[in-house]
Amino acid sequence: MSMSNKLLKIQDLELSFKMYEGISYVLKKISLELDRGEKVALVGESGSGKSVTTKLILGLLNQKNVSKKGRIIFNNKDILNLSQSEFKKIRGNNISIIFQDPIAALNPVFKIKDQFYEVNLNGGKISKKDSFLKACEALQKVSIRDPERVLESYPFQLSGGLAQRVVITMAMINKPELLLADEPSTALDVTVQNQALDLMNELTEATNTAVLLITHNMGVVRKFAEKVYVIYRGVIVEEGTKNQLFNNPGHPYTKALLESIPKLSGDGLPKHNENPPDYALIKKYTH
């Protein structure tokens, strides 16, 4: 594909924190890229560096103890060290994010209609009445039958599944070019999780929005992603298409992640892996 089709390109990205005990290196020369409309997964366990990558893309790590190197090229522009005022123009407009816990992602002291209003303002000046109507229409499109009641509610008055539909709709209302989905269904049960992924897929397909899915769940990757990057201790250890990684994983850590997918035995109970992954081998292979 031509370079003009590249929406996001991360090159040799490094991140470290100055701690009282010394320097903690979190990301070590990671590189990945997304084409427009492409669905890519960044997979790894907790603490591997997935979520801080999304925070760097959004310009949310600007503390004095943070050191950043490399490049994050979005729409042919390096955004790694943009000012906060420049990032504000991008966040919620060109780049949106869906967080892990939908209830926690919503502000508990504001009604849903007020939170839609703040998001709608990213797309340009709008009256509260027009924002309400725009949000109503958007919620109806995702099969919410009583959008007025939802918009007049506080987050704690919504179920987890309904809150996730609201959060996804809010993230997509300005038709962003890139959606960052940070463990978007972890806090939900399996049925609601599948519904949330289906909705995310439907909305991003309609707007040709690229998705960077941050997850540890290989079952979610199998359902949603086209291309996969595997991250372990701040290093990209493997990349490839979904079929390549599922059918022929090359790195021991990728194999361990695939082994972690629950399998049902004949009696309907989860079948435990009889040959647990060799983490000593993973460490040796990675370092």
Strand order in the sheet with 95-98: 95-98, 178-182, 210-215, 39-43, 227-232, 235-241
Environment class of residue 90 by beta-carbon count within 10 Å: exposed (0-12), middle (13-18) or buried (19+)? buried
Bridge partners (DSSP) listed for residue 229: 42, 239
Question: What's the confidence (pLDDT) of residue 206?
Answer: 92
* Angle of helix 112-121 versus helix 160-172 axis, rounded to 10: 20
Question: What's the confidence (pLDDT) of residue 109?
Answer: 94
Q: In whole angstroms, give the CA distance from residue 193 to residue 107.
A: 22
Radius of gyration of the chain (CA): 20
- As a residue count, the chain comes to 287
For the chain, domains (ranges, CATH) are 3-248 (3.40.50.300), 249-287 (no CATH)
pTM of the predicted model as reported, rounded to 2 decimal places: 0.86
- Any idea which residue has 């790590």 for tokens? 61
pLDDT tens string, the chain, 287 residues long: the values are 444 689 999 999 999 999 888 888 999 999 999 999 999 999 998 889 998 999 999 998 888 899 999 999 999 999 998 988 888 889 888 999 988 778 888 999 999 999 999 999 887 889 999 999 999 999 998 889 999 999 999 999 998 889 989 999 999 999 999 999 988 766 556 777 788 888 889 999 999 999 999 998 888 898 899 999 999 999 999 999 999 999 999 899 999 888 877 765 545 444 545 455 555 555 555 55
Question: What's the confidence (pLDDT) of residue 41?
Answer: 96
Instruction: Give Cα 142 to chain centroid, integer Å.
Output: 20
Q: In whole angstroms, give the CA distance from residue 249 to residue 240.
A: 9
Question: What's the confidence (pLDDT) of residue 3?
Answer: 47
CA angle 89, 225, 13 (to 5 degrees): 55
Instruction: Read off the tokens for 145.
Output: 């039958």
- Any idea which residue has 């690229």 for tokens? 210
Q: Euclidean distance between the first and final Cα of the chain, in Å?
A: 33
Question: What's the confidence (pLDDT) of residue 5?
Answer: 84
Residues 6+ positions from 85 with CB-CB distance below 8 Å: none
